[in-house]
Amino acid sequence: MVSGEYLLEMKNVSKRFPGVQALKDVQVNVKPGEVLALMGENGAGKSTLMKCLFGIYKMDQGEIFMSGNPVVIDNPRQALDIGIAMVQQELEQVPHRNVIDNIWLGRYPRKGLLIDDKKMYKDTLQIIELFNMNIDPRAQVNHLSVSTKQMADIVKAVSYNAKIIVLDEPTSSLTEKETVGLFKIIRQLKQEGCGIIYISHKIEEVMNISDRVTVLRDGQWVATENTKDIDSNQLIKLMVNRELGNRFPPKNKVVGETILKVDNLSSVYSPRLQDISFEVRAGEILGIGGLVGAGRTELLECIFGLRTVSEGAVFVHGKDVLKSNRNAKYSGIAMVTEERRETGIFPMMDIRWNTVSSSMEKNRTKAGFISLKKVEKNTQWAVDAMRIKTPTLKTLISSLSGGNQQKVLLGRCLLNQPRILLLDEPTRGIDVGAKYEIYQLMIALAKEGKAVVFVSSEMPELLGVADRILVMSNGRNAGIMDALDCSQEKIMTLAAKYL
């Protein structure tokens, strides 16, 4: 018997992929006007469950009910037609079209036989203003920042007037101000009776915005609790089935000689970087903080040779390496980019080729041919070292969870045995257990005498992992502080220094 109390019910949902049972008898229900948080480690089945709901995957078994009535969802169009919208963790956008086209694609309003551009612009602007966003509806999507792209996808979901909206890691690239704006919209949608399924690894957010929490583990339902009746430690234990202990591992205390030196680096491309200088020593972790748009990503890309530098130099062990990213690589610099899907993975290739793609020299025979034996050996090393959850080495990387994709990229970098590791938002969209493993890896690399530089929008992460913190403000180095003498307030003060 289906309860009329629920706007949405998913009952006994199971889904199997070759070699892995992704979901087994999972149940989820959402009441009108509530936020249900869906939580679990990477690979727990959260995104798979939502893709079943949205018609991207076909369930092997299970039932879906909307307002007590059974529904069949074979594709996303059917999901949208019955009132279900979804913002996926990996954004689905047409990069060379503008914001308006991305929001209304496939459902353009018409005036007779012609598209009603005036109405489309007006409606888009009205929705954007609800989020208090500073964005031009006619701006081309590939010119937008990651955070603005994500907000545009959220605007699109809201524009469908859906009864159920699924938000998969919606704040992973948002600033604190943008997150506050999103929460405002979520609360407005609640008042209108909309049900929100909110997937996030940010426990503080979940405790703030959700009414109930459903936890999945290893593809199975574990518990559903009222948020007010559970604390963060209990929630973590439900997710990982163990006490996590301290949130951050002990830091490395030994540093050596300067490995990386950035000297008066400037770049004229937007956002402009101006006269940035700093040093990183062997065994040290340097965190880079600041607001979105401050130039943090651009700084890493300049160091790695992906952006043109107008002035300045980058030295590795005293040698200027600022010529190309190939030169940077052979000088011992490796980089993991912020956007896994756009600039990290090869989605149509399996884990093996994604892992060894930047170290093909190590996977050849003496005659110069690719050795599959070496490829599989090196891939297996990365899978074991990174604790990557995958059915086989031949599994397409696009079928892995976001956190496991990130681990593949880290394994790819480490196969080159870098002396300097540049990490741009390395724990974005990753659960608390996997985050801890990545923190351990960063600290272990530092103990081996490597230099680690990482960008993070999470200030507790900067304070907990970094030895020193460089704060960017409007393309400038606003200051460098020892993490032990730093605080979130000091980081924010420096972040606003040149605004």
What pLDDT digit, counting tens, does each position of 68-82 carry?
Answer: 999 999 999 999 989
- pLDDT value at 157 more than 90: no
CA distance 446 to 284: 6
**Is 156 within the bounds of a domain?**
yes
Question: Which tokens belong to 195?
Answer: 């049900």
Q: Are residues 263 and 232 both part of a single domain?
A: no
- pLDDT value at 450 more than 90: yes
Angle at 308 (CA atoms; ends 458, 141), nearest 5 degrees: 60
Q: What is the reported pLDDT for 36? A: 97
Domain encompassing residue 448: 258-495
Greater confidence, 211 or 434? 211
Lowest mean pLDDT among 192-196, 428-432, 440-444: 428-432
**Is 249 within the bounds of a domain?**
no
**Is 198 within the bounds of a domain?**
yes
Q: What is the reported pLDDT for 400? A: 83
What CATH number corresponds to the domain at position 380? Answer: 3.40.50.300
Q: Are residues 208 and 84 both part of a single domain?
A: yes
**Is 2 within the bounds of a domain?**
no
Give the residue from 240, 275, 303 where a domain finishes: 240
In this structure, are residues 50 and 36 in contact, taking their beta carbons and an 8 Å threshold?
A: no
Residue among 81, 12, 18, 91 nearest 52 (CA): 12
Q: What is the reported pLDDT for 243? A: 57
Mean pLDDT (whole number) for 206-212: 94
Greater confidence, 270 or 102? 102
**Is 169 within the bounds of a domain?**
yes
Q: Are residues 338 and 439 both part of a single domain?
A: yes
Distances (CA, A) of 183 to 32, 80, 428: 17, 22, 19
Question: Which tokens belong to 148?
Answer: 């603005």
Strands 420-424 and 273-281 turn out to be unpaired
Mean pLDDT (whole number) for 27-45: 90
CA distance 217 to 42: 9
CA distance 396 to 487: 42
Q: Are residues 182 and 307 both part of a single domain?
A: no
Q: Are residues 233 and 290 both part of a single domain?
A: no
Band the pLDDT of 1: cuts 50, 70, 90: very low
Q: Are residues 296 and 409 both part of a single domain?
A: yes
CA distance 131 to 459: 24
Give the residue from 240, 272, 290 where a domain finishes: 240
Give the residue from 210, 240, 270 where a domain finishes: 240
Mean pLDDT of the chain: 87
> Which amino acid is residue 357, in one-letter code?
S
**Is 459 within the bounds of a domain?**
yes
**Is 246 within the bounds of a domain?**
no
Q: Number of folded domains in the chain? A: 2
Q: Are residues 338 and 220 both part of a single domain?
A: no
Mean pLDDT (whole number) for 220-227: 94
- pLDDT value at 323 more than 80: no
Beta strands of 169-272 (E only): which ranges? 195-199, 212-217, 220-226, 258-267
Q: Are residues 466 and 437 both part of a single domain?
A: yes
Q: Are residues 18 and 142 both part of a single domain?
A: yes
Q: Are residues 232 and 278 both part of a single domain?
A: no
**Is 250 within the bounds of a domain?**
no
Q: Specify the residue for token string 């107008």.
A: 310
Q: Are residues 333 and 375 both part of a single domain?
A: yes
Q: Are residues 216 and 346 both part of a single domain?
A: no
Q: Specify the residue for token string 């909206």.
A: 165
Distances (CA, A) of 73 to 11, 108, 149, 198: 14, 23, 27, 20
Question: Which tokens belong to 1?
Answer: 């018997």
Greater confidence, 17 or 287? 287
